[in-house]
Amino acid sequence: MSQEKNTFDAIIIGAGMSGGWASKELCEAGLKTLLLERGRNVEHLKDYPTTNLRPWEFEHRGGLTAQERKENPIVSRCYAFREDAKHFFVKDDEHPYIQDKPFDWLRGYQVGGKSIMWARQVQRWSDFDFEGPARDGFSVDWPIRYKDIAPYYSQVEKFIGVSGSKDGIDTLPDGEFLKPFETNCVEEYFSKVIEESYDDRHVIYGRCAHLSESKPEYVAQGRGRCMSRTVCQRGCPFGGYFNSNSTVVPAAMNTGNLTMRTHSVVHSVLFDEELNKAVGVRIIDSNTNEQIDYYASIVFVTAATLNTNLILLNSKSKRFPNGLGNDHGLLGTYVAFHNYRATISGEYDGFADKTTEGKKPTSHYIPRFRNVYKQETDFLRGYAAGFGANPIRETSSEGIGEELKNNLFASHETGKWRVGSHMMGETIPKASNRVYLDDTKVDRWGIPLLHIDIDYDENDEKMIQDYFREMTAMFEKAGFTNIKTHDNGRNPGNDIHEMGGVRMGKDPKTSMLNEWNQMHLCKNVFVTDGACMTSTSTQNPSLTFMALSARAAQFAAKEFKEGRL
């Protein structure tokens, strides 16, 4: 294939959320764009094989076999790796990596990436989050603030569809919301108790990327309203929740400017010493092992946090012997994640005359309230939390045949409710939490294996204990009983929120990317997935990834058209 046929205006590595948004923006701006995906194509509707199956239609009733658990000790710890969605996950033996410390690297290699199986919670950051590192001195200052990204949050929310409530909370800015799904009486009760008991704490409806109502723009996307089936990890036949392969990738394809190439394992970004810029991307065809070079004026690296680090570390040249843009040795360091280890449960005896009918695709949410306005604890930063409540139902499994069937159908309410919460704690980016390439071990395509050297620290342990104390007190104020706290011992990575390694910052000496997600030392390379994050905050990060991707892609398109890239 000639170089001319292999040349585009832009190349994007990875067809997940970030890459999907970059492709949509660049293609709509008129740039001829190549979207590279290391996995297979997953077409909306066509490639959701389990989406309409009933529980009894699964050979193992939705569970995993003992053999599957034995062969996949890492990915089987993921909540969504079940019989109905296991085909969307990377199996443990398919793409190995090296754990210097225990780390669950959970991946989805296909068009759509992990956006097919994600938990769909979407919260904006506020200035309290962007200013966090500057206030406490850990990490480096973000080069942007809320006002810089707010318009792009709005753009993304309007396109993907976000169900939410206007809450007027300064720590969690309101967005462009569709109507909320109905919440139950205990969730509303707990919210009211906390509002009356605290000035700085809120229990709100969890904002989620679901179409709670239909609008012409969603009909035009081919999407219908969410039916609250809560089997979203299978792929939704209605398009009721956002994933990349049903929305942004087709939007890019519809422009006529997108070329998509699957089964393309990216080896490295190509750097030209004379031009002093990136000139393209080298891939290995995963089926044929053929090495192919593609060329472009712009490269977006959005392969998901750790793979983005891997690709850039492997992008070596005379100018950058330690990885692209890595003069200072920061590439692959200051990786952080979210701490999900702490949970709490309880029961409530009120509302014995109430029950629930059906499901909803979200829970309630408690925004961060620790160390927001001042440093008030012996640990840095803080945590958010989820909250949910459901009636306790008793079912008898006694009998055989018709008697058993009748007993199963005769479940009854106990009059009690089960309540629960989980913590999502912000971990502090540290140089010691890092990833790096092995010197000798390679994968089946000759690419060095990635070492992951990431762990909890004392700050995380103190935060867990504070969550236990504070949430226990909040549960007690609401009259909940049988309160139990639990440290589930999750490994880092099991949160699937790893961030950093190619962080944004103001100073090229202490960061990799500028305020436009543009590499300081290689201006035509952009990184807009989780690798770009300077700190993690406490919010689910996907909305911020998408907003940063839209913002950077619009900037890159403008720079390209004006001849600066």
Question: Per-residue DSSP letters for 402-429?
Answer: HHHHHHHHT-EEEEEEEEEEEEEEEPPP
Closest CA to 32 of 302, 288, 260, 352: 260
Residue 524 clears pLDDT 90, i.e. is over it: yes
Q: Which residues neighbour 553 within 8 Å (Cβ) at sequence distance 6 or greater?
A: 21, 22, 24, 25, 26, 29, 300, 526, 528
Contact 485, 469 (CB under 8 A): no
What is the predicted pLDDT for the residue at 399?
A: 85
Coil, strand or helix at 250: helix
Q: What's the rounded mean pLDDT across residues 104-112?
A: 98
In the chain, what's the furthest Cα-to-Cα distance?
81
DSSP letter at 75 equals G
Contact 525, 493 (CB under 8 A): no
Question: CA distances (Å), 259 to each of 6, 8, 59, 214, 433, in order?
Answer: 11, 9, 38, 31, 37
DSSP letter at 66 equals H
What is the predicted pLDDT for the residue at 406?
A: 82
Give residue 1's pLDDT band: very low, low, confident or very high (50, 70, 90).
low
Contact 448, 98 (CB under 8 A): no
Give residue 2's pLDDT band: very low, low, confident or very high (50, 70, 90).
low
Q: E strand or H helix at 438, and its extent?
A: strand 434-442
Residue 275 clears pLDDT 80, i.e. is over it: yes
What is the predicted pLDDT for the residue at 17?
A: 98
Count helices and strands (H / E) in the chain.
12, 20
C-alpha span between 111 and 246 (Å, rounded): 10
Is the model more confident about 561 or about 396? Answer: 561
What is the predicted pLDDT for the residue at 414?
A: 83
Q: What's the rounded mean pLDDT across residues 424-453?
A: 97
Burial 77-108 (b: 16+ CB within 10 A, else e): ebebbbbbbbbbbbbeeebebbbeeebbbbbb
Give residue 269's pLDDT band: very low, low, confident or very high (50, 70, 90).
very high
Closest CA to 19 of 258, 357, 271, 327: 258
C-alpha span between 385 and 468 (Å, rounded): 11
Q: Which tens digits make up the pLDDT trace of 57-105? A: 999 999 999 999 999 999 999 999 999 999 999 999 999 999 999 999 9
Give residue 395's pLDDT band: very low, low, confident or very high (50, 70, 90).
confident
CB atoms within 10 A of CB 196: 8
Conformational region of residue 48, where left means phi above 0, alpha means psi within -120 to 50, and beta covers everything else: beta
User: Could you give the residue ranges of the DSSP H alpha helices within 396-523?
Assistant: 402-409, 458-477
Place of tokens 């929310």: 157
Residue 230 clears pLDDT 60, i.e. is over it: yes
What is the predicted pLDDT for the residue at 21?
A: 98
Residue 413 clears pLDDT 80, i.e. is over it: no
What is the predicted pLDDT for the residue at 442?
A: 98
Closest CA to 19 of 241, 364, 311: 311
Q: What's the rounded mean pLDDT across residues 459-484?
A: 98
Q: What's the rounded mean pLDDT across residues 170-193?
A: 97
Q: Which residues neighbour 268 within 8 Å (Cβ) at sequence distance 6 or greater?
A: 281, 282, 311, 314, 315, 316
C-alpha span between 436 and 523 (Å, rounded): 23
What is the predicted pLDDT for the residue at 301?
A: 98
From the CA atom positions of the chain, what is the Rg in Å? 24
Place of tokens 């890492």: 74
Residue 522 clears pLDDT 60, i.e. is over it: yes
365: which strand partners? 204, 386
User: Could you give the residue ranges of the DSSP H alpha helices within 300-401?
Assistant: 305-313
C-alpha span between 174 and 255 (Å, rounded): 32
Give residue 403's pLDDT band: very low, low, confident or very high (50, 70, 90).
confident
Question: CA distances (Å), 418 to each of 64, 347, 349, 392, 480, in order?
Answer: 27, 5, 9, 6, 9
C-alpha span between 136 and 288 (Å, rounded): 51
In percent, how much of the chain has pLDDT > 90?
92
What is the predicted pLDDT for the residue at 407?
A: 79
* Mean pLDDT value across the chain: 96
Contact 285, 62 (CB under 8 A): no
Contact 265, 38 (CB under 8 A): yes
